[in-house]
Amino acid sequence: MDEFSDQIGGRLTEAREAAGLSVDDVIFRTRIPRGVITALEAGDFTFFSSPTYAKSFLGQYSEFLDVEAGQWLDALKPAYFIADETASPLWQMSEPRKEIRVRDPAHSSGWLSSLGFLVLTGGIALAAYKGYEFFEKRFEAEVDEIVNPGAEAKGRSATPPPARELSLTVEKEPVMSVEQAVENPAQRPPRALIVR
């Protein structure tokens, strides 16, 4: 195999030099790394981690230089790369693990998750109710403070005072028509014009 690899390396070097290309020119045009080109021209196929890489780069480089490399591509077999090494498995078997039983979801009753859902829903409802009571008391205290401004200074009694109704009156501004606005421009303009 060494004679065979020397022949392909010499042929690739001769073809590159005959084309007037330097190694840098080949690197620039093919984007093949320098180490790969050097290994191919030296016929050192042990540089490659697998025969797939060697075949791929040899095919690309020989096609670029227009060198027939079919017989060399066929000669690259995986046994050539592991001939000097002892083949071993990629991973070692570990001790068997203890089997873990997983319950089938179709056979589980689900009562625990249903109970948890009910408790969560009840907790949310209780929190909403208590929050409503809290803000209702706070709103009543603010209204009471507005109605009786001095009540806070006297202190609160144990029983809350009876609720009083507030009467708020809103003064209406006179509505002005378009004709009136045109006739009296000095008057303050209305907020809205009603067109009839």
pLDDT tens digits, the chain, 196 residues: what are they?
A: 444 555 788 888 999 999 999 999 999 999 999 999 999 888 888 888 888 888 888 889 889 998 888 777 777 765 544 544 544 544 555 666 777 777 666 666 677 888 899 999 999 999 999 999 999 988 888 877 777 776 555 555 556 656 666 556 656 666 666 677 677 766 665 566 667 6
Give the domain ranges of the chain. Answer: 2-82, 128-156
pLDDT attached to residue 147: 76
Residue 101 burial class via C-beta count within 10 angstroms: exposed 0-12, middle 13-18, buried 19 and up: exposed
How many residues in total does the chain contain?
196
Distance from first CA to last CA of the chain, Å, rounded?
106
The fold for domain 2-82 equals: 434 Repressor (Amino-terminal Domain) (1.10.260)
Residue 54 to residue 76: CA distance in whole angstroms: 8
pLDDT attached to residue 70: 79
How much is the pTM? Answer: 0.39
Cβ(157)–Cβ(138) below 8 Å: no
